[in-house]
Chain A
Amino acid sequence: MGLGNYTIKRLLLLVPVFIGVTAAVFLLLKLAPGDAVSALLPPRSRNPETVAQLEARLGLDQPIYIQYLKWLANALQGDLGRSYATRQPVTGMILSRLWPTVQISIIAFFVAMFIAIPLGVLSAVYKDQWVDHLSRVIAFTGISIPSFWLGIMVILVFALFWQNWFGSSLIPAGGYVAPSEGLFAWLNAALPPGITLGVGFSAIVTRLTRSAMVEVLNEDYIRTARAKGVKEQALILVHALRNAMIPVVTIVGLQVGFLLNGAVVVEQVFQWPGIGRLLYQAVQTNDIPLIQGLVLFIAGVFVLMNLFVDLTYALLDPRIKYD
């Protein structure tokens, strides 16, 4: 089977994943207690008749599978309906919140690339020496800190305490600054949530890089290269790291889910208007079209990321058979 067929097969396998997730969430929200519809009406005009009228207008009086199919068909054309809370189109709301989440994810990703991967390589090269032990402690601390609490501590120390100690805060205590407002102002606001998000992420990447490197360094071709007199530095950086990066890249790609999990709490703490905060707000206000739209959107991003990683993997590693 060639790469083309492999891609098609992978794409086809993603269809049930996509339908499964969206159908499950659609159903659950329909079964949810609490009446989202009557809450839309002003209390004075809230009676069985007006509720029924509104339900009919929203198409909620139809059988549930019809509702789901209609919603999915519209969604595939980019129409996710309108938010109950703001009456705005859900698609537009999601897209406008996407960019802030991408910003802090990129920062988290950079933190992982420039701190976690070198640390993981050092740990593997100096396995069981003090560098390795230190990196293990750092990584396990990073994995074990809840990111919402870390964010609060960052704000406490660098914004609030800093203000008390030095008269002005080092970072803002939350809030969004767009990149167009100047690089420095943006970095000042975006780095704290970005780094907070990056800590747990980096901890995972450090451990993964270490185990991938340890494995590669034990391979025969590394020993052969060493025996042939390849310099140690070149050996590690060129021969070993390049091969170790294959699993690391794959798994880093799959951690998009982790970043999205983190975004929910970190954006809340830093009042950063991204996708995670939007989901939180939607759940808080029981805004069903918005929750459904977000879950669909996140499932879509996730599925595509998985596909992308799969294909990169297949391209990077010629040993992978496409079947």
Chain B
Amino acid sequence: MATETPTFEERSVLERLQDVLSRSVEIYGRLDTSAKVSFWIVAAIVTLAVAAPLVAPYGPAEPDYDASLAGPSVDHPLGTDLTGRDVLSRVLFGARISILVGVVAVAMAVAIGVPIGAVGGYIGGWVDEGLMRLMDIMMSFPSLVLALALVGALGPNLRNVILVIGIVYTPQYARLIRGSVLSVKEEEFVEAAENTGLGDTKILFKHVIPNAFTPVLVQGTFHVATAIIFEASLSFLGLGVQPPTATWGVMIADGRGYLPDQWWISTFPGIAIMITVMSFNLLGDGLRDELDPRSETEGGPGA
């Protein structure tokens, strides 16, 4: 648990950054081998996604009609699709969408879930009961079914996919923060802080959120993994990010028409999803074992 000393606020931004960095290095050092390896795979995937325009051999929508449906070769290591677009380049550009959706959707869930959980836990009573009942409803409903109905209503595009996944994941963070608020409420240092006249918001940011940081980090890592499968599933169904944008789900759907002879179009994006999702899952598992061994957070497939 991250119990910050009251002097935290008095230090400079640089010192605080150093603090976070040294703590991260320390956490990394305690991870098991598979989590360490996963960390570097995740780092590599994120780097490749960010640097896709620099590292991809071709543009994601650059046709080459002479190389239509070409198998894996030196020029096109993962082959090409109907219009001769390079599958490797499209997989690299697809990583940008997957990582973007994963990270932004989880950030959104945290940003909505934290205030809900904090308010519920702080105020208690029927407000808490009402909010938590609402969270239970959302959490208990099959997420893809809900997402399908929501995307169907809102219209399929990148923004709505992120929005829907963010909403679907919100309850978990509300619950985590609420639990943390309830335990912090009991602790003496908050009483002490209240006596010194600290406002509720300050208590929230100085004591409650640092306390809940670890479980949120673990849950967030798992959620990025499931969000990536979630986005791919929606895009595969034609209810997510729309072609011609290169996304893994869209590529797999495109390639189905060319099986079995041009098997590479559908196969490689799926392997990319598997490696990415597995790395996030194993990293999350390692983080949980090290930071939060008693927690019940568990990764699971989005679809």
Contact = CB atoms under 8 A, between A and B. Distances in A.
Contacts of B259: 152, 155-156, 160
Contact of A265 (B140, B150, B237, B274): B237
A180 B276 CA distance: 42
B205 interface: no
Interface residues of B, number: 48
Contact of A283 (B239, B278, B302): B239
A268 interface: yes
B252 A160 contact: no
A268 B237 contact: yes
Contacts of B256: 152
DSSP class of A's interface residues: helix, strand, loop or mixed? helix
B149 A143 contact: no
Contact of B142 (A145, A200, A260, A280): A260
B152 A265 contact: no
B145 A295 contact: yes
A32 B303 CA distance: 25
A260 B141 CA distance: 10
A207 B298 contact: yes
Contacts of B154: 28, 32-33
A17 interface: yes
Contacts of B225: 144
Contacts of A203: 301
A172 to B, nearest CB: 14
B141 to A, nearest CB: 6
Interface of B: 133-134, 136-137, 140-145, 148-155, 225, 229, 232-233, 236-239, 252, 256, 259-260, 263, 266-267, 269-270, 273-274, 277-278, 281-282, 285, 298-303
- What 5 A-B pairs have minimum CB-CB distances, sorted nearest first? A160-B260, A149-B270, A283-B152, A144-B278, A261-B144
Given A148-B236, A160-B259, 20 more contacts: A20-B134, A25-B149, A32-B153, A140-B281, A144-B229, A145-B274, A146-B229, A148-B252, A149-B252, A149-B269, A152-B270, A153-B270, A200-B300, A200-B301, A207-B298, A257-B141, A258-B300, A280-B237, A295-B149, A298-B141
Interface of A: 13, 16-17, 20-21, 25, 28-29, 31-34, 140-141, 143-149, 152-153, 155-156, 160-161, 163-164, 200, 203-204, 207-208, 256-258, 260-262, 264-265, 268, 279-280, 282-284, 286, 291, 294-295, 298-299, 302-303, 306
